[in-house]
Structure 1
Amino acid sequence: MGLFSRDNDSGDDSDSAKSSFMEERGFIASAIVVGAVLICLVVWFMLGGRSDNPTANPSQTPSTSAPTGQPTEEESTEPPVATPTALPTSTRTTPPPPNSSTGGCHNKNPNQAIPRLAAPPLVTWQFEGAMLIPLQAASGPATTSPNGVRSCFAHSPTGAVLAAMVLLGQLQNQAVGIAALKARVVPGPGRDAAIAASQESAKTPKTANGEVQFAAFKVLDYPPNATRAIVQVVADLNNKAYGAMPVTLRWYKGDWYVELQEDGTLNGSVEPDILSSLSGYVRFSGSS
C-alpha cells in the first residue's frame, strides 16, 4: 500500500471526516486523468477548487444537539494543519554553471552522508516556472539540455534529494514538463501513462492557482552504494499547510531518474500527506 493510500480497514466515519478535511482545504483537484502522475502533481502543486472569498463557500454551523436515543458524535481528533513559516534553510551562493564537467554525476567522490539534520550547503535557488528549485555545484544538476531539461546528479543522498526536487519543479512548468517526463523518468508503462496524461492535460489552458514552494525533505531509504532511493519531499501549499510526497528514484545510466508506478503516478495515490508539523524533516526552501 502506498504511503498516501487510504486505510481500507477504517470506518465510514473516518473516511468521511478525512474527505471533508481535504475538501475544506481545496486539495481535491477536478478534471484530472485518474492514474496519471499529474494527479499527484496537481493535488500537490495547485490549490484547485478553493476560493479565497469566505462567502463563496459558506460553512454550515453544525447542530450541537443529538437525536434522542442516539450517541453524540465524538469531536474530531484530526491534528491541526501546520502553519508554514518562512525560515532560511540553506546558504545562498553563486549559481553553478548550466553545464559542468566536474559536478553532479561527474563527481568522482561525492559525500555519502545522509542529510538528516541540516540542509545541503552552498545551494542556489532559481525559478523553474513559478517554483524555486535547488541547484548545487557539487551534487547537481550539472547538465542542462537545449530544451531546458536539467540532469546529471551526484551518486549520493544529496544528489538524490536534488534530483527529486528538480524534476518535480520542472514537471509543473508547462514549457518543459513533457520533455522532462520523457528524459528524466525510467522508461516503462508508468512513464508512457504519465506522458499521455500530460499531453492531454496540456490541451486545457492552465488556470491561476495558489503559490506552492518546496519546504523540506526526508531521506526515507538510501542503502550503501544505493541503486534506488526514496525521498519524501514537502511543499508549502500556499502558506496554508504542508503536503508531503514520497519520490522513488533509481540510479540508471549514470544518473538519478524518477521511477513511476505502472499507472503513471509517483506513489499510486492522489493525496499527499498533510503534515501537522515539520518535526523530523530537514527544512529546505528557497522562499523566505
Structure 2
Amino acid sequence: MTEPTVNEDQNPLTKPKFIISAVVVAIIVALGIILALLPKGGGNPATEPSNSGSTSASTQPSAAAAASVCGLPSGDQAKPATTPTDTKWELVGKIAAPTSPTQFGPGKTEANGLRSCFAHSPTGALYAGANIVILASSGHNDLVLRYLTVDSPERDKMLGSSSPSGSSGGPSFQLAGFKLTDYTGDRAVIEYGFKVSNGTFGSLPVVLQWSGGDWKAVPPASGQPEGKQLADLSGFIPWEGV
C-alpha cells in the first residue's frame, strides 16, 4: 500500500519529541498500569525455547500449576512461529479480538464483557495478551484491572483511579501482528503490532504471568509502557481479523 505523503514540518509524528503514535497513546491511557515494561535489571532475557515441537522441562508447566480455571488443556508448549491458523475473530467494541474458545481461549465470555480463561501455553498467552489490550481499549479497563491483572500494590492503586477506557474522535486501530519474545512456562513477553486508520503503525509490549489458573497482565513497579510508532510491521508475524 502506498504511504500517504506528509509535510514533515507540519506532521507532529515526525518531530523527535513525539515518541509514539496517537493510537499507542490511546492504548497506553486505556491500559494504564496493567501493561508492563520489558524486563529491567540489565540481564538478558532467558533463552527462548525452540520453535520446534519439543519443549524443555523448564518451560513445561506441571499438571497442578497448569490447571486452567475453565479446564482448557495446556496443549503444545512450542512458541508460535507462524500465524495461528484456526483463529476466529469477534468484535469487542470496534476492535477485532482473537478467539479460540475450546483450544486457546477465551474459554469464558461474560455478559459484562469480561473475556478470560486462556490455555497455559505460549499460544494461550498470545491470545490472552491480545484480548487484555483490546478489552482495556474498548471501555473495560475496570474489568481488566480487577480480573485480568496480577495482584500488586500498583494494581490496587490503579483500581482507585480507574475510569472507563477507550478513545473517541481519534484514529482507530486493529491488531495486525505479534512477536513472542520470551516464554518461560509461567511468564510471557509479547510485543503486539497495530495498524492505525490514519496509515501509521504502532507496537506495544505486554508482560503476562500465569496466576490463579489464567494469564494475567503484570503491572510495572514504575515507568511507562514502551509503546512506539513504527514505519511498518516488518519482523512481526501477521495476525489480524480485519
TM-score (norm 1): 0.60
Partner residue, 2:145: 181
Aligned counterparts of 1:109 and 1:259: Cα–Cα separation in 2: 21
Give the drift of 1:211: 1.3
Q: Secondary structure at the match of 1:207?
A: coil
Residue matched to 2:227:
272
Cα distance in 1, alignment partners of residues 166 and 116 from structure 2? 28
| Corresponding residue number in structure 1 for 2:171 | 210
Is the 8 Å Cα contact of residues 132 and 214 (structure 1) preserved in structure 2? yes
Name the count of aligned residue pairs: 195
List runs of 5+ in structure 1 lacking aligned partners.
Answer: 1-15, 42-102
User: Quick one: structure 1 residues 178 and 276, their matched pair in 2 at CA, closer, same or farther if it must change by over 3 Å?
Assistant: same
CA deviation after TM superposition for structure 1 residue 240, in Å: 2.0
SS at match of 2:206: strand
Alpha-carbon distance in 2 for matches of 1:129, 1:191: 24
Aligned to 1:154: 119
SS at 1:19 equivalent: coil
Distance 1:229 1:38 in 2: 19
1:108 Cα shift? 3.0
Residue type of the partner of 2:230?
Answer: L
1:138–1:210: structure 2 CA closer, same or farther, 3 Å change rule?
Answer: same
Match runs of 1:51-66 below 5 Å? none
Q: Name the SS for the 2:181 alignment partner.
A: strand
Q: Distance in 1 between matches of 2:74 and 2:25?
A: 43
| Secondary structure of the structure 2 residue equivalent to 1:213 | strand
Residue 197 of structure 1 and its aligned partner are, at CA, apart by 3.4
1:84-111 C-alpha deviation (Å, 9 max, x unpaired)? xxxxxxxxxxxxxxxxxxx996233511
Which residue, 77, 86, 90 being the options, matches 1:112?
77
Change (3 A) 1:186 1:205: closer
Q: Which has the larger radius of gyration?
A: 1
In the alignment, the residues of structure 1 paired with residue 150 and residue 87 of structure 2 have an alpha-carbon distance, to the nearest angstrom, of: 26
Distance 1:253 1:276, change over 3 A: same
Identity rate, percent: 31
Task: Tell me how far apart the structure 2 counterparts of residues 279 and 145 of structure 1 sit (CA, whole Å).
Answer: 36
Listed as ranges, the matches of 1:1-288 within 5 Å are: 17-20=15-18, 22=20, 26=22, 37-38=31-32, 106-116=71-81, 118-136=82-100, 137-174=102-139, 176-199=140-163, 202=164, 207-223=168-184, 226-263=185-222, 268-269=223-224, 272-287=227-242
CA distance in 2, matches of 1:40, 1:20: 23
Q: Which residue of 1 aligns with 2:6?
A: none
Do the aligned residues in 2 keep the contact of 1:233 with 1:245 (CA within 8 Å)?
yes
- Inter-CA distance 39–18: structure 2 relative to 1 (3 Å threshold): farther
Residues 271 and 18 of structure 1: is their aligned pair in 2 closer, same or farther, counting only changes over 3 Å?
A: farther
Other structure's SS at 1:190 match? helix
2:118, 2:24 → 1: CA distance? 33
Q: 1:273 deviation in Å? A: 2.2
1:198 partner SS: coil
- Aligned pair in 2 of structure 1 residues 211, 274: CA closer, same or farther (>3 Å)? same
Per the TM alignment, residue 132 of structure 1 is displaced from its structure 2 partner at its CA by 0.8
> How large is the Cα RMSD of the aligned pairs?
3.1
Residue aligned with 1:197, SS:
coil
Amino acid corresponding to residue 219 of structure 1 in structure 2:
L
Give the direction of change, closer, same or farther, for the CA distance of 1:146–1:38 in structure 2 (3 Å limit). same
Secondary structure, aligned partner of 2:207: strand
